[in-house]
Amino acid sequence: MKNLLRAISLGCIFISSITLAQAPMVGERKYPEGYITGNVSSENGPEAGVWVIAETKETNTPYIKIVVTDEDGDYALPQLPVATYNVWVRGYGLVDSDSVEGRPGDRDLDLTAVVAGSAAEAAEYYPADYWLSLVEFPGDDVLTAEGDDRLGFAPAIDSQKRFLHEFKSDCGFCHQIGNKVTRTMDQMDHLGFDSSAEAWTYRTQTGVRGGSMFGNFAQFGLEGMARTMADWTDRIEAGALPPVPLRPQGVERNVVVTLRDIGGDQDFMHDEITTDKNNPTVNAYGPTYAVSSGHGLLSVVDPITNDAYDIVIPTREDPREVPSRFPAPGQPSNFWGDEHLWGFENPSDPHNAMLGPDGRVWITSKIRSNTSPDWCRPGFGNKFAEYADPGFSNRQASVYDPETGEFELIETCYATHHLQFASDPDSTLYFNELLGPMFGWINTRLFDQTHDEQAAVGWCPQIIDTNGDGVITKPWNVWGEDVNANLDTEIRSNMYTVIPDPKNGDIVWGANENSALHPYGSLVRLDRGENPPETCVTEVYAIPDPGFDPRGMDIDSEGNPWMALAGSSHWAKFERNQCPVLNGAGTQMGTHCEAGWTLFETPGPKLGGTDVPADFHYFGWVDQHNISGLGKDTPIINGSYSDSLIALDPESGDWTYLRVPYPMGFYSRGLDGRIDDPDIGWKGRSIWANYGTHLIWHTEGGKGTTGKMVQFQIRDTPLDY
């Protein structure tokens, strides 16, 4: 049963007696010890590397536990709350078995797997990237042609690289392309279109994101793009099948996945957080947090009691005066009709949350309308505004204290998006500004002492030391004007995320998706120095071929940033100590250190007509504390089209899939790792991720399905309990 806690005022929110949201001491709470064991076999004998799924709705929020069978077909479902479970088998080469009832304490609960009667039946359970690999994308021969030879593609899409950059970035940002809903046209049949191309053109205009979706679709050229996607779905309807994925192997069979329902059936769960990145024992055994962007909520799951509840994130101004970025649908949704799903009720528009060292939850959220207060502008005495005008700001910051149930809202002046804590004495909280070339921060120590926004908030523009004198001085070469070799140079790289250096809190890195200088993305570094903004120095490093389209990023314990390249499907590592040159003439172009880059291409099927994997990687996380058990500094990337998180061994180049086979459609944007108890091995350590595509009703289960908080544990063997 979900507890929905909602209270809102114009200034702050107070919720009384939220004992579930208070971080417990290690040892006061723990996961249950119930388990079920058995064997899985089919007409072919023992079934190795298939999933055993236990599902119940008897817990306070619906609960799913998933494990993998060993080489003999044996399984062990650990840490089960007391409940009656439906237990069944799913696996590649199978169709779902009938479920049997089980309860913790059941031994020898043997299950009969069902071999698929055809390749088509088996393929229904393959991840979306396998189906997406059947799309045939246009090549450079078409996209560099002129006139009718371009086959209806827009002139701006002038290469296959540009096509894939836009396709993955714009389409993959919202959807798991290749899942059942997107690879079929069943939802369109009742409208009676004359062709699949016509139906595709219409379907991109429907529902809550129809306006932006159609704009993204049309940029490719409506005729060419509609034909490409229609050809894909028509061939699938005619019987085309994807390649066959491998069953889990090796350590992949040790993975335990636990899912708990969170939020409602219209919620877009954008991100999650469970602990402090710099100290992963913070909030041990405590609540896990996600943000529901369209509904302005902090959504919470307690993993011990399995309670789930929502908390409204307030705005400083009257919410009726705060504009939402989510318009009503232009064309009716195939699922929700003309219903206006998002943004009109609670317009705080949270995007990302982080836990600080004391367990409070810091959020990028909207506190006001889009007009900044005077102190954010030049001419009103703020040194940062005098140095660089932050301009437009459509999202700011808030912090929630689980002990008091109160929010405090913070004006930032710059627009916020993602956020990350540094490990410095000030607990500096950094932000990227998606809409402009700023690095922003809050000195949270100072803010807690004074509650003075103007004193605690700062920002720097992006100025490159192109004259090589080691400092930044005004005047500099203004962006877009001729470059004077005797001056430093401004760049304007809107960043998708930021990550501080774990060894130096004054240094922060940012991921730039694209800019006029770096159309396929770059890595941006800021060193604030001793007296920002005057001492702020920026460096930029363009992503080399074949990489393109960065989204999320993280950093290892040695200070080397890792970037998830969504378009080219790489984990990209950058080592600055390999750079022969760091500043000087021309360094604003970012091409002076290709030696610093190592690109690791992720596995899986490749898109038709390309050399690029079909998977999409929204974000990533580096396991600085070996929480996963896969090794210190293991980089783990979101496999948003492959129903997975994917861990890399940088030394061997081997990949490990942490797959979520049920419900199909697992699309994660955030992940982190928490240590609940460092002394009990895998049982006290977990990787956490949100299950939160924009359109949760596109996942297995359809309309009525909710988002999930997903917990990954890696046992020593497949039979540990």
pLDDT digits over 87-133, tens only? 999 999 999 999 999 999 999 999 999 999 999 999 999 999 999 99
Domain limits at 702?
250-714
Same domain, 375 and 427: yes
Q: Please determine, for residue 327, whether its predicted confidence score (pLDDT) is greater than 90.
A: no
Same domain, 300 and 376: yes
21 found inside a domain: no
- Contact between residue 47 and residue 75 where contact means Cβ atoms under 8 Å apart: no
Same domain, 681 and 539: yes
211 CB contacts (<8 Å, ≥6 apart)?
A: 205, 327, 330
503 found inside a domain: yes
Same domain, 553 and 509: yes
171 found inside a domain: yes
Bridging pattern class, strands 34-42 and 111-112: parallel
Taking the C-alpha atoms of residue 65 and residue 79, their distance in angstroms, rounded to an integer, is: 9
Which segments of 149-296 does DSSP mark as H helices, in order?
160-166, 180-183, 196-203, 210-218, 222-237
Q: Please determine, for residue 28, whether its predicted confidence score (pLDDT) is greater than 80.
A: no
- What separation in angstroms does the CA of 615 have from each of 142, 643, 696? 24, 10, 19
Residue 498: which CATH number?
Answer: 2.130.10.10
pLDDT of amino acid 192? 87
pLDDT digits over 40-89, tens only? 999 999 999 999 999 999 999 999 999 999 999 999 999 999 999 999 99
Taking the C-alpha atoms of residue 83 and residue 102, their distance in angstroms, rounded to an integer, is: 9
The mean per-residue pLDDT over the stretch 571-580 comes to 98
Q: What is the mean pLDDT of the chain?
A: 93
Q: Name the residue with tokens 């061939």.
A: 235
pLDDT band at residue 173 under the 50/70/90 scheme:
confident
- Contact between residue 456 and residue 441 where contact means Cβ atoms under 8 Å apart: no
**pTM recorded for the entire structure:** 0.95
Same domain, 98 and 147: no
pLDDT of amino acid 693? 84
Q: Please determine, for residue 499, whether its predicted confidence score (pLDDT) is greater than 80.
A: yes
5 found inside a domain: no
As for how many domains the chain has, the answer is 3
Strand ranges inside 263-387, DSSP E: 269-273, 288-292, 297-301, 308-312, 352-355, 361-365
Same domain, 413 and 477: yes
Q: Please determine, for residue 587, whether its predicted confidence score (pLDDT) is greater than 90.
A: yes
- Contact between residue 431 and residue 419 where contact means Cβ atoms under 8 Å apart: yes
Q: Please determine, for residue 21, whether its predicted confidence score (pLDDT) is greater than 60.
A: no
Residues, the chain = 721
Residue 37: which CATH number?
Answer: 2.60.40.1120
